């Protein structure tokens, strides 16, 4: 099948699909998959959890009040679970890789099942303005969630995706879609309620497949959201690569001290990483997540992609413990790379104002529920 987006001047383009910048992805062979499952069975992996995954009731009064504040919105992020985060910046409600279903699989009677409920239900969400979709794997591109959002009251959100997803949405009657290549930017226009916000698709070290025959046919990626009040980096799924140094350099002119410094917030994955021989080309471990945090030059990060679906060999509650060790070794304060309870909201200081937030004073709702596992 020919790649309709193929551009021979772009090194991540291939005539039949896409590839990574620094480490080509090769799909695992059947014998490698069987080796992984055999080794996991012999070793008794995944190990049982030592602690329950913390879940808190969402602060709906803050979330909906913030949604109504328009341009006066407090920049904030609410972790809904797995990779799904509600970002409230620039007067807009932005959702990352929405997954609200019970299972991340083509059918709902098989496949990995949720161990923790969503921190917010679809019915509890404020009206979503934008959905950022990083790639087409089932634990990121959930059909039920996307179709439900497309029929929300007030009209569908704008779905921003990497190349190769528009046809999937169109088959489901969803046409409010923008496709981007790496380094392409779509500008969300200024309105009477929201600020002008450029959204850029940036590289990630990963891959794509929705079926057994379409591997690498659609693009994957991370996102940079440059709202005037908060610059956010959303990784999607990724392994470690030099891409993150490239991203920092690409936006360096926007991140000078005079303009407010580097990324105010990064959403970085810390789970689904064992065994390394099988996962290292597609998922970073906590130590590599800390390196990504440092490569990007972020002010703070929230750990995502853990605690919801048992996808790999490490215990579901292991990533925060491994992250704490990695932060200590790197000399990074634990509060700078926060592990939230599902449902917790983390306010972020606005780039537009040098003010003391409720988060700094410790008052609700701005004190996120930090996890100590």
Residue 46 domain-assigned (yes or no): no
Angle at 339 between CA 112 and CA 264, to 5 degrees: 115
The sign of the CA dihedral 348, 349, 353, 358 is positive
What span, in angstroms and rounded, lies between the C-alpha atoms of 149 and 157? 7
Residue 371 domain-assigned (yes or no): no
* Residue 318, Ramachandran bin (φ over 0: left; ψ between -120 and 50: alpha; else beta): alpha
Question: Per the structure, how many domains does the chain have?
Answer: 1
Residue 251 domain-assigned (yes or no): yes
Residue 355 domain-assigned (yes or no): yes
Residue 370 domain-assigned (yes or no): no
149: containing domain: 54-361
**What pLDDT sits at residue 110?**
66
Residue 369 domain-assigned (yes or no): no
Predicted TM-score (pTM) of this structure: 0.93
For 42, half-sphere exposure in the C-beta direction (CA atoms, 13 angstrom radius) is 6
**What pLDDT sits at residue 369?**
45
Predicted confidence pLDDT, tens digits, the chain (373 residues): 799 999 999 999 999 999 999 999 888 888 888 898 888 888 889 989 999 999 999 999 999 999 999 999 999 999 999 999 999 999 999 999 999 999 987 767 667 899 999 999 999 999 999 999 999 999 999 999 999 999 999 999 999 999 999 999 999 999 999 999 999 999 999 999 999 999 999 999 999 999 989 999 999 999 999 999 999 999 999 999 999 999 999 999 999 999 999 999 999 999 999 999 999 999 999 999 999 999 999 999 999 999 999 999 999 999 999 999 999 999 999 999 999 999 999 999 999 874 333 334 344 344 444 443 4
CATH number of the domain bearing residue 280: 3.60.15.10
Residue 170 domain-assigned (yes or no): yes
Output the CA–CA distances (angstroms, integers) from residue 52 to 169, 333, 367, 372, in the order listed: 36, 24, 21, 11
**What pLDDT sits at residue 109?**
66
What span, in angstroms and rounded, lies between the C-alpha atoms of 357 and 127? 25
Residue 42 domain-assigned (yes or no): no
């Amino acid at each position: 099948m020919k790649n309709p987006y193929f551009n021979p001047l772009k090194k991540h383009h291939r005539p039949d699909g896409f590839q990574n910048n620094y480490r080509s992805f090769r799909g695992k062979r059947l014998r490698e998959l069987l080796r992984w499952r055999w080794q996991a069975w012999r070793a008794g992996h995944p190990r049982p959890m030592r602690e329950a995954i913390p879940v808190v009731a969402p602060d709906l009064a803050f979330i909906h009040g913030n949604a109504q504040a328009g341009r006066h919105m407090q920049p904030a992020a609410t972790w809904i679970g797995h990779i799904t985060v509600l970002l409230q910046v620039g007067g807009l409600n932005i959702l990352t890789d929405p997954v609200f279903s019970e299972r991340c699989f083509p059918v709902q009677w098989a496949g990995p099942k949720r161990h923790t409920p969503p921190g917010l239900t679809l019915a509890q969400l404020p009206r979503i303005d934008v959905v950022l979709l990083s790639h087409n794997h089932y634990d990121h591109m959930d059909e039920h969630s996307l179709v439900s959002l497309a029929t929300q009251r007030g009209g569908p959100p704008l779905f921003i995706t990497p190349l190769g997803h528009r046809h999937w949405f169109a088959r489901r009657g969803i046409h409010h879609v923008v496709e981007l290549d790496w380094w392409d930017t779509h500008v969300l226009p200024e309105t009477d309620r929201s600020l002008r916000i450029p959204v850029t698709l940036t590289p990630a070290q990963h891959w794509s497949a929705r079926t057994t025959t379409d591997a690498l046919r659609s693009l994957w990626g991370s996102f940079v959201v440059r709202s005037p009040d908060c610059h956010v980096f959303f990784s999607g799924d990724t392994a470690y690569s030099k891409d993150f140094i490239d991203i920092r350099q690409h936006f360096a002119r926007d991140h000078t001290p005079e303009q407010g410094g580097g990324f105010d917030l990064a959403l970085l994955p810390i789970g689904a990483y064992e065994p390394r021989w099988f996962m290292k080309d597609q998922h970073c471990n906590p130590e590599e997540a800390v390196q990504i945090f440092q490569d990007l030059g972020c002010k703070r990060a929230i750990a995502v992609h853990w605690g919801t679906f048992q996808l790999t060999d490490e215990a579901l509650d292991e990533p925060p413990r491994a992250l704490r060790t990695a932060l200590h070794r790197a000399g990074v304060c634990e509060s700078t790379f926060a592990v939230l309870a599902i449902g917790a909201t983390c306010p972020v200081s606005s780039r537009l104002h040098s003010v003391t937030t409720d988060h700094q004073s410790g008052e609700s709702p701005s004190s996120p529920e930090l996890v100590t596992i």
